[in-house]
Structure 1
Amino acid sequence: MIDYFKKNKKAFYIYGGAFAVFMLMIILAVATQTGTPYNNIAVDLGFAQIAWYAVFILTGISLGAFLTYWEFKRVGWDTEILFDALLYAVPLSIIGSRLYYVIFDPTPNYNSFIDVINITSGGLSIHGAVITAFIFVVIFTKKKKINFWILADMLAIGFLVGQIVGRWGNFMNAEAYGPIIESQFILNILPGFIKEQMFIAGNYHHPTFLYEGIWNFMGLVFLLVARRKRWFRIGDTIGLYLIWYGLGRGAIIEPLRTGGHPGDALRMFGLPANIVLSLTLFMLGGVAIIVAKKYYYIDQPYYVDVLIEEEVKIENNPA
């Protein structure tokens, strides 16, 4: 990893800067608090309020978009294409996120179209956003006549960044937590500000938002390194992202979560919708992509070989 950044100083500054912005947001959110549970409103304008949840979600989207913009330049694509995509993809993904929640809500109480699209009272799901974005990319790349697999690989990184940052919105809401912590070791290693925010109903609860963030961060680091080496070909990154995210969310995080978030109640065929979708749609989707690329989209180049800047061509010999 260190050797990678030595050969890619610009990458170090870009990703290091994004990480610094992320850490600054956490410090700002916590430092402005006077006690626990934290106030989840970042800005109160009197006539309107801006929640920390929205701040972290928008920060995650912005950082993901910024990193994708940089990647567009590295493969020689017109960055105006990215801005065109974001103009449609972001609002459509929000709509998809909301519709996913509405469709699988076990206790629907929507009396009008306004109730369906009303996101001010909560009710969004990352699953719906990812599914919507994926469908959009399929259509968008055909219209713009650009390589679907390359853009999908870029967005896989953006998704992970957005999810890592956005989860801290759950932290500020004191939601997306797990069962009561029984281990003294875990209590000792958790940072105090996280532990106190997860003190709910008289007990400390597992910060599953943090566990998911760590899981996604490990996947992010691996994919960032792997796509700069001749380990995987174009299209493998999005497939591996779906497998990694589906496994972590469906088999580890969701079974551990006990409540506190509206999405925990969503059901599909009587089962937790987020578990079903994570283990089937995402994991199987990732496997399908890997298999399809092996038999139908063969001879794809390595991702690093489509970069046009010589300074990022790290030394790597094909295995």
Structure 2
Amino acid sequence: MIPYPHIDPVIVRIGPLAVRWYGMMYLLGFTSSYLLVRYQIKKTGLNFGRDFVDSLYSYLILGLLIGARLGYVVFYDLPEYIGNPLEIFALWHGGMSFHGGLIGSVVAGIFFCKKTKIDFWQVADLVIVTAPIGLGFGRLGNFINGELYGRVTDVPWAMVFPSGGPLPRHPSQLYEFFLEGVILFTVLWILKNKGFRTGVLSSFFLILYGIFRFAVEFFREPDVQLGYIFGPFTMGQLLSSSMIGAGMVILFLRRNR
């Protein structure tokens, strides 16, 4: 068993304000994605205009945050929020869904591209290859917070998480960091220069993320308010299966245009 590092979730306090590692991970993810998209545009010589990336990310960040919160409300704890609707706005209590954030970002991206008359799939491919960086940072934030930990296990690298009881568990946040962050980014960054039709990279992201997340869910403790759905499967696996299906449909349609 490996000792859990017990990193203080708060980096620094300034009076009543606290700068937390989880929020810093969001900032690092957005900043890295922003800079890499600018790099891709400059390298490929795309002429999107001076303020294109700034405007795009203002839409994407807003869509992601709203979608992530509403996704958690709808997918993971709807009865609780129906009974306490004001809790929807209590972001400091936690509760964000990746799948909801993805939907929110896609909706915001479609709206932005229609407004600017730019091809959605071209923009989506530029952004999606950078998304795993934010995912990876987010999982590190989960690990520091000691949340979204894994199921009880006896593997040598198991850890006892502060809020997970006395038994050792899988550090599933680190599994997701490696698969959804490091591996997925490496694969997509290599494939981006292979000359695929627009939209194909986005389909690869949906399929690969869905596969990785589906697999890791077997090691991750299910949400206590939901437990298992459809036998041994979790809500995360149900949503990830939908991602895989959507990715395969997009791949088929875009490759056969």
TM-score scaled by length of structure 2: 0.86
1:75-116 C-alpha deviation (Å, 9 max, x unpaired): 323241111121122122101111111113155146665421
1:279-318 C-alpha deviation (Å, 9 max, x unpaired): 11x11111111111133xx2xxxxxxxxxxxxxxxxxxxx
Kept after mapping to 1: 8 A contact 2:197/2:254:
no
TM-score scaled by length of structure 1: 0.70
The corresponding residue for 2:154 is 182
Aligned residues: 248
Distance 2:88 2:171 in 1: 30
SS of the equivalent of 1:94 reads helix
1:134-178 C-alpha deviation (Å, 9 max, x unpaired): 122122212212121111111212211110111111011111221
The corresponding residue for 1:84 is 55
Distance 1:109 1:152 in 2: 32
The corresponding residue for 2:14 is 45
Distance 2:50 2:130 in 1: 15
Distance 2:224 2:132 in 1: 20
Kept after mapping to 1: 8 A contact 2:73/2:81:
no
Q: Displacement, 1:183?
A: 2.6
**Does structure 1 residue 122 correspond to structure 2 residue 105?**
no
SS of the equivalent of 1:210 reads helix
The corresponding residue for 2:197 is 233
The corresponding residue for 1:276 is 238
Structure 2 counterpart of 1:156, from 128, 132, 149: 128
Q: Displacement, 1:200?
A: 4.6
Kept after mapping to 1: 8 A contact 2:68/2:96:
yes
**Does structure 1 residue 147 correspond to structure 2 residue 105?**
no
Q: Per the alignment, do residues 275 and 135 of structure 1 end up closer, same or farther by CA in structure 2, a change over 3 Å counting?
A: same
Once the two structures are superposed, the pairs formed by residues 214-253 of structure 1 within 5 Å of their partners are: 214-216=178-180, 217-230=182-195, 232-250=196-214, 252-253=215-216
SS of the equivalent of 1:102 reads helix
Distance 2:224 2:179 in 1: 19
The corresponding residue for 1:285 is 246
Kept after mapping to 2: 8 A contact 1:101/1:266:
no
SS of the equivalent of 1:277 reads helix
Q: Displacement, 1:58?
A: 1.6
Q: Per the alignment, do residues 268 and 100 of structure 1 end up closer, same or farther by CA in structure 2, a change over 3 Å counting?
A: farther
Q: Per the alignment, do residues 291 and 80 of structure 1 end up closer, same or farther by CA in structure 2, a change over 3 Å counting?
A: same
Q: Per the alignment, do residues 132 and 64 of structure 1 end up closer, same or farther by CA in structure 2, a change over 3 Å counting?
A: same
The corresponding residue for 2:43 is 74
Kept after mapping to 2: 8 A contact 1:249/1:278:
yes
**Does structure 1 residue 258 correspond to structure 2 residue 221?**
yes
Higher-Rg member (1/2): 1
CA RMSD between the two structures: 2.6
The corresponding residue for 2:172 is 208
**Does structure 1 residue 63 correspond to structure 2 residue 32?**
yes
Unaligned runs of 5+ residues in structure 1 are 1-34, 188-194, 299-319
Distance 1:99 1:268 in 2: 21
The corresponding residue for 1:132 is 104
Q: Per the alignment, do residues 269 and 222 of structure 1 end up closer, same or farther by CA in structure 2, a change over 3 Å counting?
A: closer
Unaligned runs of 5+ residues in structure 2 are none
